[in-house]
Amino acid sequence: MRAAVCRQFGGPDALAIADQPEPLPKPGELLVRVKAAGVNHADLVVIAGKYQVKQEPPFIPGMEIAGEVAAVAEGVIGRHVGERVVALIDNGGYAEYAAIPARRAFPIPDGLSFEDAAGTFVNYGTAHAALRWRAALRPGETCLVLGGAGSVGLASIAIGKAIGARVIGAASSPERCAQMAANGADETIDYANLAALRERLLELTGKRGADVIVDPVGGEAGALALRCVAWGGRIVTLGFAGGQPPQYPANILLVKNAAALGLFFGSYFDAAPELLRAGIEEIQRGLIDRSIRTYDIAVRQLDALPEVLEQIRARKLTGKAVLKM
C-alpha cells in the first residue's frame, strides 16, 4: 500500500511517500480501507517529535480518517465489513489501509461523504467539546474565537452560532477576517497588531469583554486574550499554534471571577466515550441538516501532504484540507 512515512523527526520535508506493508489488525481492532484523511496542525507537532503521544521513526502519521471497514478482528462486536466509519487515531492515517482500535471508530451517516466526515470530525468535535462541555456557552453570550480563520477557529464560529451566541472572530490579516465573516462571524478583529485585540473587543462589547474565549493559538495572543474576558467569563485553551502555551496571571482570574479551562479532545475516547458519541452524532445531524455550517474542504491527493502541511505551518491555509487515497 502507499503511505506517507516519517523516517526522522523534522518538518514536512521529513515525509516521503513509499510502499509499505498492509497492517494486520490485532484483537479489538478494525482494518479500514482509508478513503480520506484530514490534515491537522497536530501532524506538524507529531512529525517534529513534540506531541503528547510520541512516535518513534519510522512511522506513518495521520490521526483523522474516514473509510470502509475491510476486516473485523477477534473481540470486536457490532461492526461489519463494508461499514463506513470515521475515526481519530494515534498514527497510521496517511495510508491506503489503517488498523485502528474499534472503540475509536464512529459510523458515518448517510448524507456525509468520506471527505466531509474526515474534514470535520476532529475540528468540529473539538469546537463542540470546548463550547458545550467545557465553557457551557449560552445563547446570547459573546464568544471570541482566536485564530478564527483556521479550521478549528471556523468550526468554533459555526458551533458558537448554532448555539445562538454572538461570535467575534479574531485573525491576523484582512483576508482572514474576510474569511471569518464569510463563514458566519458576527464581527471580526484583525490582530496583526496585538494591541488592537483588547481595544477593539472592548469597543465591540461596550467595555464588557467576551463571556467565552476559544484559544487554539496560545503564546502572547492567548495571554492577552485573558485580559479581554468578561466578569464570570471562561477561556478555553485548545492548543498552541502560536508556538508556546499562554501564561495566565491568576490575579486576573480572581478579580474577574473567571475560569481558565483546558481541552484535549482525544481524552474523551477513554474518559467519557458515551458523551463523545452523543456529541459526534449531534454534530453529524447538524452538518447534514445544515443547522451547523461547514467550512470549505479542499480535497488533495496523498502526494500533496508535505505541501499542505507547509501551508498550515505558514498559516496560509483557511478551511480544511483532506487527502483522498
- pTM score, whole prediction: 0.92
Q: How far is CA 74 from CA 34, 40, 105, in A?
A: 21, 31, 16
pLDDT greater than 80 at residue 116: yes
- Report, as an integer, the average pLDDT of 188-192: 93
pLDDT greater than 80 at residue 243: no
Phi, psi of 214 (to 5 degrees): -100, 125
**Helix, strand, coil in percent for the chain, rounding step 5:** 35, 25, 40
Whole-number average pLDDT of the chain? 94
Confidence of residue 181 (pLDDT cuts 50, 70, 90): very high
Confidence of residue 290 (pLDDT cuts 50, 70, 90): very high
CB 157 within 8 A of CB 126: no
- Report, as an integer, the average pLDDT of 187-216: 94
- Lowest-pLDDT range of 52-66, 76-90, 137-151, 275-289: 52-66
Report pLDDT digits (tens) over 4-44. 999 999 999 999 999 999 999 999 999 999 999 999 988 99
- Report, as an integer, the average pLDDT of 270-291: 96
What pLDDT is recorded for position 174? 94
What pLDDT is recorded for position 304? 96
pLDDT greater than 90 at residue 317: no
Longest CA–CA span in the chain (Å) reads: 60
**What domains sit in the chain, N to C, each tagged with a CATH number?**
2-108+295-324 (3.90.180.10), 125-265 (3.40.50.720)
What pLDDT is recorded for position 38? 97
Percent of the chain with pLDDT over 70: 100
- Report, as an integer, the average pLDDT of 295-313: 94
Q: Buried b / exposed e across 57-69, counting CB within 10 Å, b at 16+?
A: eebbbbbbbbbbb
Residue 68's Cβ-side half-sphere holds a number of Cα atoms within 13 Å equal to: 5
Confidence of residue 245 (pLDDT cuts 50, 70, 90): confident
Dihedral angle, C-alpha 96, 300, 8, 313, nearest 10 °: -150
CB 65 within 8 A of CB 113: no
- Report, as an integer, the average pLDDT of 38-58: 89
What pLDDT is recorded for position 190? 95
pLDDT greater than 90 at residue 136: yes
- Lowest-pLDDT range of 58-62, 212-216, 238-242, 265-269: 238-242
Q: Give the separation between CA 217 and CA 195, rounded to whole angstroms.
A: 16
- Report, as an integer, the average pLDDT of 161-187: 96
Confidence of residue 94 (pLDDT cuts 50, 70, 90): very high
What pLDDT is recorded for position 134? 97
Residue type, 319: G
What pLDDT is recorded for position 52? 76
What pLDDT is recorded for position 316? 81
Report pLDDT digits (tens) over 208-219. 999 999 999 988
